Amino acid sequence: MYMSPAFLLINNRNMTRMTARQLAVQLLFSMEINHLTPDEVFALFFEEKHYQSLKEEDLIFQDFPDEAQMAYIREIVEKTDRNLEEIDAVIDRYSKDWKKERLSKTTLAILRCAICELLYTDIPDSVSVDEAVEQAKRYDSPKAAAFINGVLGSFIRGER
C-alpha cells in the first residue's frame, strides 16, 4: 500500500508536517528571491553547516528532516515549481485588486505552498488554509494572514 510522504510525516515525532511545510515555504521564498531551481535551493539550504547555522534563527531548524520529511518538502517545492504558472494564475484570479508582484515574497511563498497542497495533495483543505494563515501571522503580518485566508477561502468556494 502506497503511503504519501504527507501521511508518513503525521506519524513522525521529531518533525511535524507543519514544520516540514514551514521549511518548504522557506525554500520557495529563497527560490523566488535568489532565482534558484529546486535542486539548487535544496543543495544550498540543506548543506549541513548552513542548516546547523539556522538553529539560532528559528526553532524549526532544531532537527534535520529525515527521509520522509525531506520527501514531503521536495514534493511540495518541486510540484510548486513545475506548476508555478497554474498556481500563480490561481493567486491572480483570487487576489482581488492585487497583482502577485505587489505581494510580499513571504505572502507569495505561503500562498504558493498552500495552493500547491490544495491542488496536488490529499491534505485536507482546512489544514492547508489554517497552517498558511498561521505561517503568515508568524512570518508576515496580521493583514497578510487575513489576505491569505481570503484568497484561499475564495479559491475553495470558487473551485471546490
- Tell me the CATH number at 67: 1.10.940.10
- Of 58-62, 91-95, 143-147, 154-158, minimum mean pLDDT range: 58-62
pLDDT at 15: 52
pLDDT digits (tens, 9 = 90+) for 20-59: 999 999 999 999 999 999 999 999 999 989 888 888 888 8
Q: Are 112 and 87 in contact (CB under 8 A)?
A: yes
> What is this structure's pTM?
0.87
Distance of CA 92 to the CA centre of its chain: 18
Within a 13 Å sphere around the CA of 4, how many CA atoms are in the beta-carbon half? 14
Give the separation between CA 71 and CA 48, rounded to whole angstroms.
17
* Model pLDDT for residues 97-119, shown as the tens digit of each residue: 788 888 999 999 999 999 999 99
Residues shown for the chain? 160
How many separate domains does the chain show? 1
Is the model's pLDDT at 76 over the cut of 60?
Answer: yes
What is the per-residue pLDDT for 16? 79
**Does residue 50 sit in helix, strand or coil?**
helix
Q: Which domain holds residue 86?
A: 5-159
Residue 55: count of CB within 10 angstroms of its CB:
12
Is 25:109 a contact under the CB 8 Å cutoff? Answer: yes
- pLDDT over 70 at 6, yes or no: no
